[in-house]
Amino acid sequence: MCHAPAPHTESVTVIANERVAPGVGLVVLEAPRTAASVQPGQFVHLRIAEGADFILRRPFSVFRAGGGRLEILYQVVGRGTRVLADAEPGEGMDLIGPLGNGWRVVEGTAHALVVAGGLGAAPMGMLVEELARRGVAVTLAQGAPTGERLLARELFEATCRRVACATDDGSFGACGFVTGLSADLIERDRPDVVYVCGPEAMERVVATQAEAAGVPCQVSLERLMACGVGACLSCVVSTHHGRKRACVDGPVFDAADVLWEASEDPEAHPAPDPKPPAVAAPDPAAPGRGEA
């Protein structure tokens, strides 16, 4: 999981594409080369269609991979994902992948807490399967606005030792945010590691909870991406080790490395020079402004 395979371009075919929740679809792609090499937490850069709107590829996490196929959970938010939602079986696309550094699983991990908020479930399918394959006991805390937006519950129920859910409207599981669940689960169970994906504000809260308990925490960060391969700097993440590119250095980062506030980034706001610049004393003999 630590050694990311080299990315390649692959022509892929849509095998199935269905709506799984309001505004959310699951597309299955025949992509044998990528499916054989992608690691949990990595993503692909998908060219959804031809034309000017699609010159820039769209990044998507791989939810599951196997049998020559990739599964991608996607939320319809704009032009690209609307076209993706209409893609029919048999249609062709192409992708670059696998990209980025995914989740790290440290030897000896016995118990992992996985926290997924909304679409944050998208990079978690392969992760929980890999953890289960290694004999790690997985607790999943999942949150969504409503019960019908809790994604991939079947897979999570089948793979994780325990699943705890929270919904904003209380229609399934606890009423409230998933961060309420993660606070209890970190404090009470002291997992060996916490893996988090969801809205950045939620990730930050869980990272703080894990840090307070002394539990290592990894977060998958989303940034606008243009090139996806480290060349354009559109996806910068500020860290204690300088500025990193989410597409090649992430999207998974150690939460303790992340500078969550732009104001914490010394490269964004260089500290003022402690010594004021030397100002030459005016030469009383020199001509003033406007004087010849």
For residue 247, the SS3 value is coil
CB of 287 to ligand FES, least distance (A): 51
Q: Would you call the peptide bond into 123 cis, given omega within 30 degrees of 0 as the criterion? A: no
Nearer to ligand FAD, 142 or 209 (CB): 142
For residue 69, what are its two tokens? 């196929």
User: Which of 181, 195, 201, 178 has the alpha carbon at shortest distance from 254?
Assistant: 195
Q: Say whether residue 60 binds ligand FAD (CB under 6 A).
A: yes
Site map (CB under 6 A) of ligand FAD, residues 111-130, x = contact = --------x--x--------
Choose the contact partner of 164 out of ligand FAD, ligand FES, none; CB within 5 to 8 A by kind: none
- Under the binding rule (CB under 6 A), the answer on residue 205 touching ligand FES is no
Residue 58 binding ligand FAD, by CB under 6 A: yes
Q: Do 164 and 173 meet the contact criterion of CB atoms below 8 Å apart?
A: yes
Q: Which is nearer to ligand FAD, 249 or 265 (CB)?
A: 249
**How many residues of this chain interact with ligand FES, rule: CB under 6 A?**
12
The binding track of 193-232 with respect to ligand FAD, each residue x by CB under 6 A or -, is -----------------------------xxxx-------
Amino acid letter for position 48: I
The answer to whether the CB of 230 falls within 8 A of the CB of 248 is yes
Residue 15: other Cβ atoms inside 10 A: 16
**Looking at 12-20, 28-36, 75-83, 186-194, which segment touches ligand FAD (CB under 6 A)?**
75-83
Give the binding-site size for ligand FAD (rule: CB under 6 A). 21
Task: Kindly state the smallest distance separating residue 253's Cβ from ligand FES, in Å.
Answer: 14
Residue of 199, 225, 27, 237 whose CA lies nearest to 120: 199
Smallest gap from residue 14 Cβ to ligand FAD (A)? 16
- The two tokens of residue 180 are 């309420």
Q: Does 81 bind ligand FAD (CB under 6 A)?
A: yes
One residue of 35, 178, 247, 255 binding ligand FES per CB under 6 A: 247
- Pure H helices in 104-192: 125-133, 153-159, 178-189
Q: Where are the beta strands (DSSP E) in 145-271?
A: 162-167, 174-175, 193-197, 217-220, 236-239, 242-245, 252-254
Q: What residues make contact with ligand FAD under the rule CB under 6 A?
A: 43, 58-61, 72-75, 77-81, 119, 122, 222-225, 251
